[in-house]
Amino acid sequence: MPQNEMNYARLLRDYEETRNRHLYEQKERREAVYKEVPALAGLDRQIAEASVSAARAALDGDTAALNHLEEHNRQISEQKKALLTSAGYAPNYLELTYTCPDCKDTGFIGTEKCHCFKQALTFALSEASTLPYRLEKENFDTFSFSYYDDRTADPQLPVTPRENMKQIVTDAKKFVDEFDTTPRSLLIYGNTGVGKTFLTNCIAKALLDTAHHVVYMTSHGLFETFENHRFHHADEDDASLYRYIFDCDLLIIDDLGTEVANAFTNSMLYTCINERLLHRKSTIISTNFSLDQLKACYSERIFSRITGDYTLWKLFGKDIRALKRMERSFS
């Protein structure tokens, strides 16, 4: 089976599992509540019996039967809500829940892919399928300033690492809040281990939670996709991912500078950055490079687009990964 169909088939199976899980959880809730409030079971039985007899009556030509059923069920449903509330439950406690209410966990709205399906496909295609799990741990709620020193400021710098990070996190939250109205693009730069990826993940999580389409690519993966599209026979997956790189709400290019740069990568990077700016689409680039190194490695027009049109966040401080390793070895 071609890769594309495999991805589709796997995703559709995941959706089916999700629907089954919600049905199972609903059944569990119902059984537990029936034990506590037996009258609810009686009301559900009334609904079921009324539906059967209304269907029979309709078949026998009683045209009003289905209207009566609707009214009957509405009344019973009000009684159920009242019983649930008085037992301390939310009135909709027994209703079926959805991971994505927009498509009711089918992946499609009509014949169009739902945003959740497009996102799931993006994760599968961009080899970022573990990202959602990582985002459960790396988000604004789990962000800690304690790894950033508040005392030993570099005399060259106007603020301490912690103060710098506080300002940046405040601006990152503003970036998220204003994402739909005032899209910005960001360059997050600084040495290894100062929290660039963590910060990017905080933003990605906040935007994914509000149903935005986020494409996360390492710079290596990004250029590989460009090359496949340009030089090799691109399959449907490559074509989708290529389109998503330009169309998505937020493109994250992680670790720019680790790819093998050449005239082609330079030209594609410019096209990507420029097209997205023209269409007011946000991009986040993270890199270990300093501004001088960026200038030396990329064309003048890339450098001037980034420094002219992006918000620049310089992160500094101690290597957090090294600090965490030390914490673990002492704990």
Q: Which residues bind Zn ion (CB under 5 A)?
A: 100, 102-103, 114, 116
- The nearer residue to Zn ion, 114 or 186, going by C-beta atoms, is 114
- The nearer residue to Zn ion, 116 or 272, going by C-beta atoms, is 116
Residue 75 tokens read as 């009344």
- The nearer residue to Zn ion, 100 or 294, going by C-beta atoms, is 100
- The nearer residue to Zn ion, 114 or 250, going by C-beta atoms, is 114
Entry field: residues in the chain: 331
**Residue 21 beta carbon to Zn ion: minimum distance, rounded to whole angstroms:** 15
Long-range contacts from 167-175, C-beta under 8 angstroms, 24+ separation = 168/199, 168/313, 168/315, 169/140, 169/143, 169/145, 169/199, 169/202, 171/311, 171/313, 172/140, 172/199, 172/202, 172/203, 172/313, 173/140, 173/206, 175/203, 175/282, 175/311
Contact 14, 120 (CB under 8 A): yes
**Residue 18 beta carbon to Zn ion: minimum distance, rounded to whole angstroms:** 10
| Helix, strand, coil tally for the chain in percent (to 5) | 60, 10, 30
**Residue 62 beta carbon to Zn ion: minimum distance, rounded to whole angstroms:** 39
Is 300 exposed, middle or buried, given 0-12, 13-18 or 19+ CB atoms closer than 10 A? exposed
User: Mind giving me the DSSP string for 246-261?
Assistant: HHSSEEEEEEETSS--
**Residue 19 beta carbon to Zn ion: minimum distance, rounded to whole angstroms:** 12
- The nearer residue to Zn ion, 11 or 291, going by C-beta atoms, is 11
* Amino acid letter, 159: V
**Residue 39 beta carbon to Zn ion: minimum distance, rounded to whole angstroms:** 36
**Residue 105 beta carbon to Zn ion: minimum distance, rounded to whole angstroms:** 7
- The nearer residue to Zn ion, 80 or 205, going by C-beta atoms, is 205
* Amino acid letter, 250: L
- With tokens 């989708």, the residue in question is 240
- The nearer residue to Zn ion, 97 or 311, going by C-beta atoms, is 97
**Residue 110 beta carbon to Zn ion: minimum distance, rounded to whole angstroms:** 12
Contact 61, 47 (CB under 8 A): no
- The nearer residue to Zn ion, 84 or 100, going by C-beta atoms, is 100
- Give the chain's radius of gyration (CA, Å): 27
**Residue 274 beta carbon to Zn ion: minimum distance, rounded to whole angstroms:** 32
Start-to-end CA span in the chain (Å): 49
- How many C-beta neighbours within 10 Å does residue 240 have? 18
- The nearer residue to Zn ion, 211 or 322, going by C-beta atoms, is 211
Between CA 111 and CA 174 the distance in angstroms is: 35
**Residue 135 beta carbon to Zn ion: minimum distance, rounded to whole angstroms:** 18
